[in-house]
């Protein structure tokens, strides 16, 4: 069991000002897997002071020096990947086979991508008689969620460090242990004191203290849309920059010329990845009315293979939800779907058989879901897929865009030009055509209430930069 009693501030493990510890529960066994300090606003003050003091020297370092530190971080993340994968499976419940590739693999890849970017990125350009320079925005608050905890943290940490910013990280209280492993790694790499600081705690205490702190120049937040609104309001008092990556209700549009089996399988995989706890999951499957029955049968056949089981079993494809509260929330949505008249094709509100412990939900598929139903409009964040029939292309685009969210989406067609035409009309920050692979160098972020700003690649780096124009 991981039992952390100190916070990482100003290059040292320090006794927290807050009282008590936060207990981290394994969602598969309901046993305790670790504890972290319950930080207080005074800890945030101390961490912000450290980051502010470290900013002048760190922001003046060359891109080559910053790249060197990121390469060290990458090497250590790779070396500790087996430990990180097992730890996040214990904290979160993602099946270990996926955790090895995603939860431990992606943070290392992201870190390396920024190390490489710094070798070619130009922080200045000439425009006529002006020199336009891109400078670090300053002290950054990185507030991260529990569903991809280290990946979401390293997206912010790597980009902020690459830009020359200093930062304070606040991980989710549901899966914070991996952030302490990161702090251990950063400490071993010799990053200058105060450049990276870690304060764990509850959102309403340390998260709000960070968002409101007058000496924090930027908040980079990933989480729910509701929490994003609160962060924005707190940050507005000091006019600090806010980057938000929030919720989603993404649509996969399957056209009538698509390879149905491939399209349905990929959509189910997207929806059920991480037990449905993925902001960019394709949770609405839009299918032609003429092909509805065929698609529904295929979906049930494929989804039924996602049997819940132990995260540490290499054959498990569907783990538990992160907490009892999250499980109850998802079950409530399933009940609302049934009450609204959607066809329950698979799963339901009952607990999966043979799993007396753990926060498990059955893989659930609803058919003939209409756009006015709650399950079609709100982010469920569980293994629940909605199949929505449409009449023609215009109807499909209308349904796909009929959402307050706009984070991701997909189009499936044997005609690439037709698929691109549909993709261009979808009001969302990212669209995959025929299962296009995730690209760590391409911008990720949303339209509408899915947030603002972008992460990853040069676009992600520029979120942490501010522009100065020098005229000659």
One domain for residues 28 and 132:
yes
For 139-167, how does the pLDDT look when each residue is reduced to its tens digit (9 = 90+)? 999 999 999 999 999 999 999 999 999 99
Residue 273 included in any domain:
yes
Q: Would you state the pLDDT for residue 451?
A: 97
Average pLDDT, the chain: 98
Percent of the chain with pLDDT over 70: 100
Residue 410: pLDDT over 90: yes
Q: Would you state the pLDDT for residue 18?
A: 86
For 24-61, how does the pLDDT look when each residue is reduced to its tens digit (9 = 90+)? 999 999 999 999 999 999 999 999 999 999 999 999 99
For 309-340, how does the pLDDT look when each residue is reduced to its tens digit (9 = 90+)? 999 999 999 999 999 999 999 999 999 999 99
Q: Would you state the pLDDT for residue 373?
A: 98
Q: Which residues are catalytic?
A: 245, 279
One domain for residues 303 and 219:
no
Residue 444 included in any domain:
no
Q: Which CATH number fits the domain that encloses residue 434? A: 3.40.309.10
Q: Would you state the pLDDT for residue 289?
A: 98
For 347-369, how does the pLDDT look when each residue is reduced to its tens digit (9 = 90+)? 999 999 999 999 999 999 999 99
One domain for residues 342 and 328:
yes
One domain for residues 100 and 32:
yes
Counted domains in the chain: 2
One domain for residues 272 and 385:
yes
Residue 329 included in any domain:
yes
Q: Which CATH number fits the domain that encloses residue 222? A: 3.40.605.10
Q: Would you state the pLDDT for residue 470?
A: 98
How far, rounded to the nearest angstrom, does the alpha carbon of residue 427 sit from its chain's CA centroid? 20
Q: Would you state the pLDDT for residue 432?
A: 98
One domain for residues 144 and 259:
no
Residue 235 included in any domain:
yes
Residue 262: pLDDT over 90: yes
Residue 74 included in any domain:
yes
One domain for residues 317 and 218:
no
How far, rounded to the nearest angstrom, does the alpha carbon of residue 334 sit from its chain's CA centroid? 23
One domain for residues 197 and 300:
no
Residue 297 included in any domain:
yes
One domain for residues 238 and 278:
no
pTM over 0.95: yes
One domain for residues 187 and 290:
no
One domain for residues 256 and 186:
no
One domain for residues 110 and 189:
yes
Domain that holds residue 324: 250-439
Q: Would you state the pLDDT for residue 206?
A: 97
Residue 306: pLDDT over 90: yes
């Amino acid at each position: 069991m991981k039992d952390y009693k100190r916070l990482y501030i100003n290059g040292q493990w320090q006794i927290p000002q807050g009282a008590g510890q936060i207990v981290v529960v394994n969602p598969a066994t309901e046993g305790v897997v670790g504890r972290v300090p319950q930080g207080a606003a005074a800890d945030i003050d101390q961490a912000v002071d450290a980051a502010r003091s470290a900013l002048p020297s760190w922001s003046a370092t060359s891109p080559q020096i910053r790249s060197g530190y990121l390469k060290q971080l990458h090497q250590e993340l790779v070396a500790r990947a087996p430990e990180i994968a097992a730890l996040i499976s214990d904290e979160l419940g993602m099946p270990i086979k996926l955790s090895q590739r995603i939860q431990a693999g992606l943070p290392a890849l992201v870190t390396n991508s920024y190390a490489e970017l710094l070798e070619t990125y130009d922080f200045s350009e000439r425009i006529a008689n002006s020199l336009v320079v891109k400078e670090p925005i300053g002290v950054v608050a990185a507030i991260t969620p529990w569903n991809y905890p280290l990946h979401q943290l390293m997206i912010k940490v790597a980009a902020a460090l690459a830009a020359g910013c200093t930062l304070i990280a606040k991980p989710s209280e549901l899966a914070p242990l991996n952030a302490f492993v990161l702090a251990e790694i950063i400490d071993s790499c010799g990053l200058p004191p105060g450049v990276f600081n870690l304060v764990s705690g509850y959102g309403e205490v340390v998260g709000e203290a960070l968002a409101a702190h007058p000496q924090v120049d930027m908040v980079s937040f990933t989480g729910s849309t509701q929490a994003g609104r609160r962060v924005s309001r707190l940050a507005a008092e000091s006019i600090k920059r806010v980057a938000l990556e929030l919720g989603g209700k993404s649509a996969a549009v399957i056209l009538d010329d698509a390879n149905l089996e491939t399209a349905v399988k990929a959509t189910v995989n997207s929806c059920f990845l991480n037990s449905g706890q993925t902001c960019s999951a394709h949770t609405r499957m839009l299918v032609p009315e003429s092909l509805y029955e065929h698609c529904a049968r295929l979906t049930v056949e494929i989804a039924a293979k996602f049997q819940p089981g132990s995260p540490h079993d290499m054959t498990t494809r569907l783990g538990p939800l992160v907490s009892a509260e999250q499980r109850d929330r998802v079950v409530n949505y399933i009940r609302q779907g049934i009450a609204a008249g959607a066809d329950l094709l698979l799963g339901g509100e009952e607990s999966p058989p043979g799993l007396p412990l753990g926060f498990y939900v059955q893989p659930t598929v609803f058919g003939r879901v209409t756009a006015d139903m709650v399950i079609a409009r709100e982010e469920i964040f569980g293994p629940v897929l909605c199949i929505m029939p449409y009449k023609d292309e215009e109807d499909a685009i209308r349904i796909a865009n009929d959402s307050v969210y706009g984070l991701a989406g997909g189009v499936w067609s044997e005609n690439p030009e037709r698929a691109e035409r549909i993709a261009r009309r979808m009001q969302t920050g990212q669209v995959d055509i025929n299962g296009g692979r995730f690209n760590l160098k391409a911008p990720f972020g949303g339209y509408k209430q899915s947030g603002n700003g972008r992460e990853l690649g040069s676009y992600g780096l520029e979120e942490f930069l501010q522009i100065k124009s020098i005229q000659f």
